[in-house]
Copies of this chain bind each other. A is one copy, B any other.
C-alpha cells in the first residue's frame, strides 16, 4: 500500500496514528505530496487520486485510491478482521462514528477553515479564495468545541467512552492543528488538556511525523 501525505499535516496525522495503532506501518510506503506548493490541488492529483484535492490518500496494491480519513481508517481497521478503532458492537460503531464526525465538525474542520480563510494559510499561491468572516466564525466554533470535548472528557476517559478509538484520533488531529495555528486549549479545559497529555505519550502519536523515513516525492 501507498499513503500520499505530508508528514506534519493534521489530517495525515489521523491516518499515521491509525496505522501505528494497528501496527501496519511496515506494509505502507509513504509518498510525499507538498502541501505548501498545493500539489494536492493539481489537476493530475485531483483527476487520478482524490477529487476533493485533500490529503491523505491511500492507494491499494490493485490501484484503488481511498481518500478521506474515516474511510481509510475503516479500511485499515477491517484489514486484519479485528477492528480496534471503529468499534465492534452496533452501539460502539454508532458512538465512535458520531464522536469522530463531531470532532471534525466542531473542531478539526473548523480549525482548518479558520487556517485557510482567516490567516495567510498556505500562502497566496495556494489560498486563491479566502472568506475571512467565515474563517473567524469557524475559529469561534472550534473554541466552543474544545469546551464541549472538555465536558465529555470530564466524565469518561476517552472521546467515545471507555476505550481509545478513531474518535480520539480525530480530536488529536484537531489539537495538532490548533497547535499549528496558535489556538491553545483554554486553561479552564483541564480534562481536555490532561487527556491530550496522555494521548501524546502514546507511541502512535509521538512518532507520527518520523514514521516515514524512506519517502519518495510525488511528481
Residues of A within 8 A of B (CB): 51-52, 58, 60, 64, 66-68, 70-72, 74-76, 78-79, 89-91, 93-98, 101-102, 105-106, 129, 131, 133-134, 137, 148
A37 to B4, CA, bound (A): 45
A68 to B99, CA, bound (A): 9
Given contacts A90-B79, A137-B129, are A71 and B52 in contact (CB under 8 A)?
no
Q: Enumerate chain B residues within 8 angstroms of A102, measured Cβ to Cβ.
A: 51-52, 67-68
Q: Enumerate chain B residues within 8 angstroms of A74, measured Cβ to Cβ.
A: 90, 93-94, 97
Leading 10 A-B pairs by shortest Cβ distance:
A75-B94, A71-B97, A71-B98, A78-B90, A66-B94, A68-B101, A74-B93, A134-B134, A75-B90, A68-B98
A105 near B52 (CB under 8 angstroms)? yes
Q: Enumerate chain B residues within 8 angstroms of A134, measured Cβ to Cβ.
A: 131, 134
A70 to B69, CA, bound (A): 14
Q: A60's closest neighbor in chain B, by CB? A: B91
What are 29 residue pairs bridging A and B, where the CB atoms are less than 8 Å apart in the complex?
A52-B105, A58-B94, A60-B91, A64-B91, A64-B95, A67-B98, A67-B102, A68-B97, A68-B101, A68-B102, A70-B70, A70-B97, A70-B101, A71-B95, A71-B97, A72-B94, A74-B90, A74-B93, A74-B94, A74-B97, A75-B90, A75-B93, A75-B94, A76-B90, A78-B90, A131-B133, A131-B134, A131-B137, A134-B134
Q: Enumerate chain B residues within 8 angstroms of A68, measured Cβ to Cβ.
A: 97-98, 101-102
Q: How far is the CB of A6 from chain B (nearest CB, A)?
A: 19
Q: Enumerate chain B residues within 8 angstroms of A67, measured Cβ to Cβ.
A: 98, 102
Given contacts A58-B94, A90-B79, A106-B51, are A71 and B137 in contact (CB under 8 A)?
no
Contact of A51 among B51, B60, B133, B148 (CB under 8 A): B148
